[in-house]
Amino acid sequence: MKIKIILLMILVFAVFNFTGCNSILKKIVTKSVSYSFADSDFGYGNTAKITFQQYNKMGVRLVDFEGTKLPTPDMFTVWEPAIVFPAGRPFDLRVFVYWNKDRFGERRRGIFKCPALAGNRSYELLFRGSYKNGGILTLRSGREIVCEQEIPPLPRRYRE
């Protein structure tokens, strides 16, 4: 009996050693779910999707929509990159703009003044620039630039 238990433990250890716990978790977390801030409380019939883009190690991440944060998704699910917002009225998005996602300290939080979006369209919000010198947040739909907002450079005292 002891030999069977020991062999079973060796087998379990070997499976995790060769396949890796990470690959098992990747297979479990496969369900991607859409999230909408445009529920019936807003009273707007049309909606639009905004995808918060990241390129290389620079990107934009949503912090909250007019004070409402994204809730934690259910177990074994993740939110889709495109988030649904109400169309037809301007609103404020609090975002993190980051330059190096490996170094948590290089990020800046700010408000993006989103113009009224057209219903049933998809948009993406992306950043071009640098940490110290600022840059530009660009909201676009396909190749059409809808809105650009400047992120000012850091004050000189924070650059050193």
pLDDT at position 25: 53
CA distance 91 to 48: 12
- Report the run of H or E that residue 2 belongs to, with start and end: helix 2-19
Q: pTM of the full predicted structure?
A: 0.74
What is the reported pLDDT for 43?
Answer: 47
69 neighbors 113 (Cβ within 8 angstroms): no
Q: Which residue is associated with the tokens 């037809």? A: 88
8-17, 20-29, 36-45, 146-155: least confidently modelled range: 20-29
Question: Count of alpha carbons within 13 Å of 74, Cβ hemisphere only?
Answer: 7
- 3-class DSSP state for residue 67? coil
With tokens 């999707």, the residue in question is 49
What's the alpha-carbon Rg for the chain, to the nearest Å?
21
**For 92-111, how does the pLDDT look when each residue is reduced to its tens digit (9 = 90+)?**
999 988 877 555 566 788 89
